[in-house]
Amino acid sequence: MERLQKILAQAGVASRRKCEELILSGAVEVNGEQVTAMGTKVNPNVDVITVNGRPIRSEKKIYVMLHKPKGVITSAKDPQGRKVVSDFLPGIKERVYPVGRLDYDTEGLLLLTNDGEFANLLTHPSHHVPKTYYATVKGVPHGSLLEKLQRGIELEDGMTAPASVEYQDVKMENNESTIAITIHEGRNRQVRRMFEAIGHKVIRLKRVRFGEVILEGLPRGKFRHLTESEIKKLVNEASKTHKVHN
């Protein structure tokens, strides 16, 4: 819900002050009813707003991907004053929301949009858009442990769905290894908890793929708009509601 004059201004009707004048003059209707009270709250996704009988243009839908650095919060504001993802979207005037979330310490591909339907579709638990992470862990997990992750492992909130897992890099001298893991769910701290469950703590975590969209080529802290084709592929992928087989 937003204040009517703000929505009118965001839709490009006029400046905020002019929009207030329009409201006071009786030119604005919400769901067929004249509204002259300043500060009336409306929902632009549901309510029909007209000015002099003409519906206002709804906000342009935008879809971006950000290479989120670690140490950044996936939310619009942080009461503790830490960096938030919107700090990395210069020039984006639309109010965009993250599609799912990445932990404060996780870096990588984060989608943001002002299209609520799109965000719901991609985050709904019955949809299975694959997400790939590079998890750098302490030590080198034995193949049999990775197979456990692949089959599904018991976490405190239940069994995980089958995942794809493969070694990406092994650094014997640092006693660490990087595993590429693709999951189809989005539970809280899921990848970290999966590796913890096999006794290998995650040291670094980076999401490199969301459905068909890949992070490669986008520098850390930068964003770009998704292409039409990427948006279509994500919608198609999320619309397949059947269970995934590995």
Residues near ligand URA (CB under 6 A): 102-103, 106, 189-192, 205
Residue whose CB is less far from ligand URA, 103 or 212: 103
47 is annotated as an active-site residue: no
Task: Report the nearest approach of ligand URA to the CB of residue 116 (Å).
Answer: 22
Task: Report the nearest approach of ligand URA to the CB of residue 205 (Å).
Answer: 6
Task: Report the nearest approach of ligand URA to the CB of residue 190 (Å).
Answer: 4
Task: Report the nearest approach of ligand URA to the CB of residue 102 (Å).
Answer: 4
Task: Report the nearest approach of ligand URA to the CB of residue 7 (Å).
Answer: 33
Residue whose CB is less far from ligand URA, 121 or 197: 197
Query: Identity (one letter) of the amino acid at 81?
Result: G
> In this structure, what DSSP letter does residue 63 have?
E
Residue whose CB is less far from ligand URA, 106 or 114: 106
Q: Which of 78, 87, 103, 169 is catalytic?
A: 103
DSSP secondary structure, the chain, as one string: -EEHHHHHHHTTSS-HHHHHHHHHTT-EEETTEE--STT-EE-TTTS-EEETTEEPPPPPP-EEEEEEPSS-BSSS--TT---BGGGG-TT--S--EESS---TTEEEEEEEES-HHHHHHHH-TT----EEEEEEEES---HHHHHHHHH--EETTEEPPP-EEEEEEEEGGGTEEEEEEEES---TTHHHHHHHHTT--EEEEEEEEETTEE-TT--TT-EEEPPHHHHHHHHHHHH--SPP--
Residue whose CB is less far from ligand URA, 94 or 103: 103
- Return the residue matching tokens 């309510």: 47
Residue whose CB is less far from ligand URA, 61 or 100: 100
Query: Identity (one letter) of the amino acid at 220?
Result: R
Query: Mind telling me the catalytic residues?
Result: 103
